[in-house]
Structure 1
Amino acid sequence: MMRSILERASHWLALVCRVIAGVALIAMLGVTIVDVATRYLDRLSDGAVAVTLLGSVELVSYLMLCSLLAAMAANVEKSQVVVEAFSHGLSPGFKHRLQGVYLLGFAALGLILCLGLVDSAAAAARHGEVTQDLRLPMGPIYTTAAVLSLLLGVRALIHALLGALFGAEGEVSHGE
């Protein structure tokens, strides 16, 4: 019962993270295409059409932050490399328990990142910190990164529990 709940929760959180990562990647691609097209149009027209996308580098960097954090959270249980030389003679259940203990470190990392980013978001909101080019408020950017880091920590914790308590990888990951 508990295992099924954890697996379902992990599955839905992974789905949400994949959607966020996909949207961020598509937006990043869109910004890049528009930036390249406007620069090319400017060059073709010898400056007669001087349309540029301001802050494209900044937009791409923040979208990349979101896509990377979301992708890490979506695939945390698949990101571990098992060194066959060390785990060759171990049973699959013990390997999964060992991976569960290892994933506790990722859970701690996600939660520590989240707490640091929440503090940064609060400080940015207090001081009115904005981005360099577009003058966007940094508070929501830090908050978004904090939520994605929390998702990383929660998914890692779920899979750590699945591995450590049940000796199982979970429904979401297939194979070793």
Structure 2
Amino acid sequence: MMPSLERASHWLALVCRLVAGIALLALLTVTIADVGTRYLHRITDGAIALRVSGSVELVSYLMLFSLLAAMAANVEKSQVVVEAFSHGLSSNLKNRLHGVYLLGFAALGLILFIGLLDSAAAAARHGEVTQDLRLPMGPIYYLAAALSLLLGLRSLIHALLSAVFGADGEVSHGE
């Protein structure tokens, strides 16, 4: 069971890294294009008036996607160790405590998923759109909900690996 959990976590992490990378590249592209067109407008005294419409809106949603995906991709590396409390503990016990800690992230991911799923359904029902670009909010909420679910699933997988099996939480990737 443990190798199949590790394999599932590995593939989910790859998907999350891909989403985070695409969102981050898109975010940087929008930012560079916006800054570049503003600078071009300024140095030509308004002769060239190109603008990136809704750049602040695009950057905020792309940042949401990149952060959620990056958090989900790296959840097993997020251990916070307070040396004063864990100094004398065995490695096995530290791993099990880390698993309990990750259960909190699993709960957080599930709560975010449920809330965003509800928001997505309401946005789709009411035709809610973004303020500047008039993009439908439903798909934005659905993607954020899916990324939150991935955060919860990967946290749960690593909580099980750490708390139940006493593993160190790092996926070996078959190496």
Secondary structure of the structure 2 residue equivalent to 1:116: helix
1:121 maps onto 2:120 in alignment: yes
Secondary structure of the structure 2 residue equivalent to 1:21: helix
What is the alpha-carbon distance in structure 1 between the residues aligned to residue 51 and residue 89 of structure 2? 59
> Does the 8 Å CA contact 1:7/1:170 hold for their aligned counterparts?
no
Aligned residue runs from structure 1 range 10-21, under 5 A: 10-21=9-20
Partner of 1:152: 151
> Does the 8 Å CA contact 1:96/1:169 hold for their aligned counterparts?
yes
> Does the 8 Å CA contact 2:95/2:169 hold for their aligned counterparts?
no
> Does the 8 Å CA contact 1:97/1:167 hold for their aligned counterparts?
yes
Deviation at residue 83 of structure 1 after TM alignment: 1.0
Secondary structure of the structure 2 residue equivalent to 1:36: helix
Partner of 1:62: 61
Secondary structure of the structure 1 residue equivalent to 2:45: coil
**What is the one-letter code of the residue matched to 1:105?**
G
**What is the one-letter code of the residue matched to 1:139?**
G
**What is the one-letter code of the residue matched to 2:96?**
R
1:133 maps onto 2:128 in alignment: no
Partner of 1:36: 35
> Does the 8 Å CA contact 2:76/2:170 hold for their aligned counterparts?
no
What is the alpha-carbon distance in structure 2 between the residues aligned to residue 33 and residue 105 of structure 1? 37
TM-score (normalizing by structure 2): 0.96
1:78 maps onto 2:77 in alignment: yes
**What is the one-letter code of the residue matched to 2:6?**
E
What is the alpha-carbon distance in structure 1 between the residues aligned to residue 121 and residue 168 of structure 2? 37
Deviation at residue 171 of structure 1 after TM alignment: 3.8
Deviation at residue 172 of structure 1 after TM alignment: 2.7
What is the alpha-carbon distance in structure 2 between the residues aligned to residue 131 and residue 80 of structure 1? 36
Structure 1 unpaired stretches of 5+: none
1:143 maps onto 2:142 in alignment: yes
Structure 2 unpaired stretches of 5+: none
Secondary structure of the structure 1 residue equivalent to 2:59: helix
Deviation at residue 81 of structure 1 after TM alignment: 1.3
The number of aligned residues is 172
What is the alpha-carbon distance in structure 2 between the residues aligned to residue 49 and residue 112 of structure 1? 47
Partner of 2:162: 163
What is the alpha-carbon distance in structure 2 between the residues aligned to residue 65 and residue 125 of structure 1? 19
CA deviation map 1:114-165 (0-9, x unaligned) = 0000000000001000000000000000000000000000000000000111
CA deviation map 1:79-134 (0-9, x unaligned) = 12111111111111111111111111110110010000000000000100000000
